[in-house]
Structure 1
Amino acid sequence: MKNQNIYKIVLLWLVGIVVINLLAANYFERIDLTRDQRYTLSSAAKEIVSDVDSPIVIKVFLEGNFPSEFRRLRNETQQMLEEFSAYNSNIKFTFINPLEQNDNAEATAQNFYRQGMPPARISVQENGKSSEALVFPWAVATMGDKTVQIPLLQNKLGATDEERVSSSVQQLEYAVAIALNKLVYPREKKIAVMRGNEELPDAHIADFIKTLQEYYLIAPFTLDSAAVNPQKTLQQLKQYDLIIEAKPTESYTENEKYILDQYVMSGGKSLWLLEAVAMETDSLLNPSGTAFALPQDLNLGDFFFSYGVRLNPVLINDIYSAPIVLASGQGNNTRFNPYPWFYSPLTSSPNDHPIINNIEAVKFEYANPIDTLENNIEKTILLSSSPQTRLEGTPRKISLDMVSRQPDIASYTDGEQPLAVLLEGKFTSVYKNRIKPFEIENPIVKGRETEMLIISDGDVIKNKVQRGKPLELGFEPYTGNTYGNKEFLLNAVNYMLDDKGLIDIRSKEISIAFLDDQKTADEREKWQVINLLLPLVLLGVFAFVFNYLRKKKYLK
């Protein structure tokens, strides 16, 4: 009878195990117990993952002997990829140490540079000594013959390694999701890069356009035919989902303005990078080191006034700014030195809008303040100057001599000035109750829901060119700094073209706890002694108690 009960118990256990395994195989559920839900994928990410029907292999190069904060980044990356893989078994990943089979770290670094994946140089503190190490915070996702690079480390000017890692962890889900999005979905939406009004040449917008081509279909578009066949030009422009006007310097005709107005009324999105003052740093590179900043009229004042904004022909002079690099010496003795240059403001973000959340400071040059006017359009100030700003009217003489003068801090009292404003809503036509430049069928007076971004500096989209080749947008070759221009503009385009699900991932806040490096170094020996002696003490106590109880038991 007793044996039969044992058999029944064993049988019930076996049946229970089989049932549990069948349920686990058919019903999938993961529980995230973290307070900030860091391991819970957003609905937008899950939607992308569910559409992965071919194997995707992700190679992560974040492997090696790292300081604690980068080990955290490596572990967080692994856990995030495990979440993606858990939702779709087609997603596989592996970690690779780029230096494991190559002792020449610099040669490996150069190879990564050539592939567009620059390594990070980090400071390592060990036993009170400081050294430099290379980290390769990149991953590469491959599906068939398509490959996408995934940056895992965010650049932040003046930030500590801990701050950079913390910011990077918050963006891991977005970085992986946007890479999968590129692999899974074909490009469908169209962007027109406007030409014909003396915009920036192709070489100076090449890097950003190349980046956009990974997401969208890109083509140049000119308004030159607006004078002879404006109706056809308007119909052709309506085929595009978004237009980019990159620093036009030639005034717009009424025909061109009406075409652009009706494009907006029909729901077209637009990214405007404009300047109300004509001034270039290159114009200062003359024997006198001076140039004049002059007001610039593009005949767009009424156009934007009707939509609710106004660009003022004054200059932003900001204490919080990027340096200007000037050469000294001749020949082999030439040196490039950075100097303060208050006409290159580095922006702050007055809110946590998804477009600007967790991005590096954006660099402007000779920017102009934007006024926002009352109407029915929702306006969001995305970027502004620092509180220590001074407005300077034009015409104005600009001189390189200012690099050697101390600024009068007391005069910087104009406060934060808007530099980038997002407009959202149903726009009213500029030509409502006005004579139209030309006739079209069914002109639209009250437009559809749309978005428009106004940026008061055309150079925000301008990349440097070195030896005839475009450099990465935001990268300054002489200082080594990388600003957030590219990320800001890319986020803005993604947002306006309705990729809001992915952009919203950027707003996810994750708190990361790090060890105190100074405290760790100060108390290192104490904890080493504790870790060495405590197990021995506990073992001795256990042996003593065990022997005592054993003697007590058998002495009886």
Structure 2
Amino acid sequence: MKKSALNNSKPWLILIGGVILFALLSQLINFRIDLTEEKRYSLHPATEEVLSQLTEPIHVDILLVGDNLPGGMRRLQKSIEETVRTFNAYSPEKITYSYFDPLSVAQTEQEAFIGSLTEYGINPTNLYVSQNTGQQAQLIFPGILVSNEEFETGALILKGERGMGPDEILNQSIENLEFELSNAIKKLVSPEESAIAMIMGHGEMSEDEGFGLVEALDGQFELFKVPLEQAQSPTDLANFKIIFIEGPREIYSDREIYLIDQYVMNGGNLVVMVDGVAVDISQAGGDGTFAMPVDSGLENLLFKYGIRVNKDLIQDLNFGYFPVMAGNFGNQDQMVPLPWPFYIQAGIMKDHPITKGLDVVYYRFASSLDTVLAEGVKKTPLIFSSDNSRILTAPVRVAFSDMEQEPPIEAFSMKNLPLAYLLEGEFTSLFKNRFLPEGFSKADFKESGSGKVVVFGDGDVFQSQRSLQDGSPLPLGEDPFSQFIFANKLLLRNMVQYLVDPDGIIASRTRTFQIRPLNKVKVAQQKTFWQFVNVLVPIIILLLTGSFVWWIRTQKYSRKIK
């Protein structure tokens, strides 16, 4: 009898022992198996590298909260949770999360707190949700705050290109969650100390004196204003991760061009923002003025690298506005927004780590770009004009009076003109088979080298505009008239991260999660069938299996009794 009891309890003892053994092994061996097709629960190696540097716990505040959020927002909310949990699984330190409603802050402190969120790019969004009494507006903050014991940073997580549908924007935001969270953590654990040079001495950055670059990149990189004439050799520039040339108005000498050329040949990253024509907007009133061709001395260098900035201006029907005086209202000056096709709101982006998911980038007086043959150089257009554009060859008349009449739509027949190019690969020096400028040794000269060059046909794309009230520089991308914030700052940050480390966390922006929407017609036609399959079929299978087991046991033990 005792032996029979032992035999009956033996399977249960084995089961309990196996569970205990599995629990002990799970504490010693940490592993994850991602069975999803898109590797949704896996991380980019660069993200794993960032997490490996954690030496203290990290906490994530999810600001996307609210009652009765629609399904898409709940999916984004859940995806943030899943991303944090995935990060925690790979991290040597604990990464926790909680929900926090910015509107729960005391009324006296709420305005200041919401203002601090805008410094991270987290702007409130009005969301319309369905209630029993109809639609109701609800203010949401689609962002996250990441903090350790000492510091805090934040990131906006709801991003998409203009023209995308709500589902596309949500899906792209989910795709970029890994980058946004890992980038925020990186700011906490390993602040950048790389140096960036802003070339001075040729009328560069005349509008804001470099405020746009400094304001956008401060805290991530050290920025230096470098008078190029003081550099003695290419090695003086070698420590700079990136060199910016922003809107020069005076010609570069052969000596200065040689220094820039050799910087690229030695693996440097160059960002060139040049105007094909010069425009004095202050003269656009009355009879107007003319935009005339302007030379920077960099034309031959860029041509050798495979790109040409043309002496023209692009007009686009997806335009911005320019404030002009329209008389007085009582004793107050009356300003009205004038449609201004020279100001382009570019919202068509290349699916590239630099530009994927970007909102509109603002251009002011952009020239067209052409590519030319340059062996070994890959040319990638990053940003495009709309489907209704045109090119005006210099000299171009610029007058406010021309905008009093609606522009003829049929004249804007050009589509998707490239507004920025990324050049990568093996560059050939402009000075190959040429005499070197005086003072440089042939022994130190490199005929070719691997580098990266980004070219914009607008010298102002990373320059801040000024406030209409006090004339102070505004944050990069903010329009002084409409107060709308364009994506110029985010474009700059993405570009810098890519140039410095193209295989780093910026590469995680290439991830794609496929949207798999249900076919609404099939859902309506096959609803009853699939309800039957999902509800009744499992029960039927369970009953049949139980009956079969009962029949087997009956046959087995009935024979023994006989």
Answer yes or no: same fold by TM over 0.5: yes
Cα distance in 1 between the residues matched to 2:514 and 2:112:
33
Task: Say which SS state the counterpart of residue 390 (structure 2) adopts.
Answer: strand
Look up the equivalent residue of 1:27 and give its one-letter code.
I
Residues 250-302 of structure 1: per-residue CA shift (max 9 Å, x gap): 11111111111122222211111111111144443x4x162221111112222
The equivalent residue for 1:80 is: 83
* Offset, 1:174: 0.7
* Offset, 1:444: 2.3
Cα distance in 1 between the residues matched to 2:378 and 2:517:
40
Q: How does 1:417-496 map to 2 (within 5 A)?
A: 417-441=417-441, 442-466=443-467, 467=470, 469-496=472-499
Cα distance, 1:98–1:249 mapped onto 2, change above 3 Å: same
Q: Normalization by structure 2: what TM-score? A: 0.83
Cα distance, 1:351–1:59 mapped onto 2, change above 3 Å: closer
Task: Say which SS state the counterpart of residue 94 (structure 1) adopts.
Answer: strand
Residues 75-113 of structure 1: per-residue CA shift (max 9 Å, x gap): 211111111112224322222122235468973774445
Look up the equivalent residue of 1:420 and give its one-letter code.
A
* Offset, 1:162: 4.6
Residues 225-252 of structure 1: per-residue CA shift (max 9 Å, x gap): 3xxxx5x253322221210111111111
* Offset, 1:147: 2.4
Q: How does 1:528-539 map to 2 (within 5 A)?
A: none
Look up the equivalent residue of 1:458 and give its one-letter code.
G
Between stretches 311-320 and 504-513, larger displacement belongs to 504-513
Residues 105-134 of structure 1: per-residue CA shift (max 9 Å, x gap): 973774445755432222334347333221
**1:168 paired residue among 159, 168, 173:** 173
* Offset, 1:27: 2.2
Task: Say which SS state the counterpart of residue 342 (structure 2) adopts.
Answer: coil
**1:12 paired residue among 11, 14, 17:** 14
Q: Normalization by structure 1: what TM-score? A: 0.84
Contact 1:60-1:94 at 8 Å conserved across structures: yes
The equivalent residue for 1:543 is: none
**1:124 paired residue among 122, 126, 129:** 129
Task: Say which SS state the counterpart of residue 483 (structure 1) adopts.
Answer: coil
Task: Say which SS state the counterpart of residue 460 (structure 1) adopts.
Answer: coil
The equivalent residue for 2:301 is: 303
The equivalent residue for 1:93 is: 97
Cα distance in 2 between the residues matched to 1:4 and 1:283:
101
Cα distance, 1:336–1:32 mapped onto 2, change above 3 Å: farther
> Which runs of 5 or more residues in structure 1 are unaligned?
517-522, 524-537, 539-556
Cα distance in 2 between the residues matched to 1:94 and 1:350:
34
Cα distance, 1:191–1:76 mapped onto 2, change above 3 Å: same
Contact 1:336-1:478 at 8 Å conserved across structures: no
Task: Say which SS state the counterpart of residue 506 (structure 1) adopts.
Answer: helix
Cα distance, 1:164–1:418 mapped onto 2, change above 3 Å: closer
Contact 2:175-2:513 at 8 Å conserved across structures: yes
Cα distance, 1:508–1:326 mapped onto 2, change above 3 Å: farther
Residues 330-354 of structure 1: per-residue CA shift (max 9 Å, x gap): 3675555444321122335464222
* Offset, 1:62: 2.0
Contact 2:196-2:224 at 8 Å conserved across structures: yes
Between stretches 126-135 and 12-21, larger displacement belongs to 126-135
Cα distance, 1:100–1:513 mapped onto 2, change above 3 Å: farther
Percent of aligned pairs with the same amino acid = 28
Look up the equivalent residue of 2:473 and give its one-letter code.
P
* Offset, 1:203: 3.7
The equivalent residue for 2:25 is: 23
Residues 24-44 of structure 1: per-residue CA shift (max 9 Å, x gap): 112223344544333322222
Cα distance in 2 between the residues matched to 1:405 and 1:299:
38
The equivalent residue for 2:243 is: 243
Cα distance in 1 between the residues matched to 2:363 and 2:75:
34
The equivalent residue for 2:50 is: 48
Contact 1:99-1:108 at 8 Å conserved across structures: no
Cα distance in 2 between the residues matched to 1:335 and 1:515:
53
**1:316 paired residue among 314, 317, 328:** 314
Correspondence 1:507 to 2:505: no
Q: RMSD of the TM alignment (CA)?
A: 3.0
Task: Say which SS state the counterpart of residue 449 (structure 2) adopts.
Answer: strand
Cα distance in 1 between the residues matched to 2:100 and 2:384:
41
> Which runs of 5 or more residues in structure 2 are unaligned?
525-535, 537-562
Between stretches 419-428 and 129-138, larger displacement belongs to 129-138
Cα distance in 2 between the residues matched to 1:478 and 1:160:
27
Cα distance, 1:151–1:437 mapped onto 2, change above 3 Å: same
Cα distance in 1 between the residues matched to 2:306 and 2:115:
49
Q: How does 1:61-460 map to 2 (within 5 A)?
A: 61-68=63-70, 69-88=72-91, 89-100=93-104, 102=106, 107=111, 110-112=114-116, 115-116=119-120, 117-127=122-132, 129-154=134-159, 156-157=161-162, 161-201=166-206, 203=208, 205-225=210-230, 232-284=232-284, 286=285, 288=286, 290-330=288-328, 336-349=335-348, 351-376=350-375, 377-441=377-441, 442-460=443-461
Look up the equivalent residue of 1:471 and give its one-letter code.
L
Task: Say which SS state the counterpart of residue 403 (structure 1) adopts.
Answer: helix
Cα distance in 2 between the residues matched to 1:482 and 1:202:
18
Cα distance in 2 between the residues matched to 1:119 and 1:491:
23
Contact 1:109-1:118 at 8 Å conserved across structures: no
Look up the equivalent residue of 1:489 and give its one-letter code.
L
Cα distance, 1:20–1:260 mapped onto 2, change above 3 Å: same
Paired residues in the alignment total 514
Cα distance, 1:234–1:367 mapped onto 2, change above 3 Å: same
Look up the equivalent residue of 1:341 and give its one-letter code.
W
Cα distance in 2 between the residues matched to 1:79 and 1:351:
28
Cα distance in 2 between the residues matched to 1:329 and 1:166:
48
Cα distance in 1 between the residues matched to 2:101 and 2:127:
16
Cα distance, 1:465–1:177 mapped onto 2, change above 3 Å: same
